[in-house]
Amino acid sequence: MNKAAITVEPICAFNDNYIWLIGASNGLAYIVDPGDAQPVLDTLAARKLTLGGILLTHWHPDHTGGVKELKRLTGCVVWGPYNDAIEGIDHRVTEGDVVSLPGLTLDIFTVPGHTLDHIAYCGDGLLFCGDTLFVGGCGRVFEGTFPMMRASLEKLRSLPPETRVFCAHEYTEANLRFAKAADPDNPALHAHAETCQGLRRDGHPTVPSTIATEAATNPFLRWDNNALAQGLFAAGRCQSTTPDEVFRGLRTWKDTF
């Protein structure tokens, strides 16, 4: 399979989930985080594609709910994190492992924080990061700690700037409203917000973004920006301007924004 033939497109599910379809000219498709089987089956039938495998980032049902049905109907292979709570995984993977698809090699990164089992898949300029990093935001810290989540985001921020970010939800407009409150003097953020508003007005996804765009506009990747940190500290939202404390202040503010 020619790498140039690989495509990535969203399958919309529930209210705001994106299930990512990785397809190619040989008719094989791979699916990332299928929370619902039916929209995947509908898309495969419409495109005349065969499901070769499923990639899972973490255990939450809106990411895994369709696995059992898809595996039953197609016999596909499933990769996912080391979490026995997720049924149907054939190959459990962690940082240092590689998933080799036809024409696409994906490295595994452990990115705990949102959940303890969370992993991301990255290769050939593509990042499938589940609920760790969003356009303009990041996932809630449900199972990990704030330092753990910040470290996971730092790992993703260090990827090549042109890396395309395929996250699992269309949360962008709400995320950017918060971002403008947290980082009001950021001109790149205001320009990006206008672009994203235009995309949503026209019915288009705001995803994928890039690491470069997120590093410039996403407050959850800007814990070491002096203006943002000082503003948060002056407002009493963090106790110091250390990276972990700035991140904690941002995430706890966002939780009630």
33 close to 131: Cβ distance less than 8 angstroms: no
Angstrom CA distances, 4 to 1, 124, 201, stand at 9, 11, 30
63 catalytic per annotation: yes
Angstrom CA distances, 6 to 10, 30, 31, 46, 58, stand at 14, 11, 13, 18, 24
Annotated catalytic residue within 114, 117, 118, 192: 114
114 catalytic per annotation: yes
Q: Phi and psi dihedrals of 188, rounded to 5? A: -65, -40
What is the rounded distance in angstroms from the CA atom of residue 177 to the CA atom of residue 77? 40
60 catalytic per annotation: yes
62 catalytic per annotation: yes
58 catalytic per annotation: yes
Annotated catalytic residue within 36, 62, 117, 183: 62
Annotated catalytic residue within 33, 36, 117, 131: 131
| DSSP-assigned states of every residue in 47-97 | HT-EEEEEE-----HHHHTTHHHHHHHH--EEEE-S-TTSTT-SEE--TT-
What is the rounded distance in angstroms from the CA atom of residue 201 to the CA atom of residue 193? 12
Helix axes 243-255, 172-182, angle to 10 degrees: 120
Annotated catalytic residue within 33, 36, 118, 169: 169
169 catalytic per annotation: yes
Annotated catalytic residue within 58, 117, 118, 183: 58
204 catalytic per annotation: no
Catalytic residues, which ones? 58, 60, 62-63, 114, 131, 169
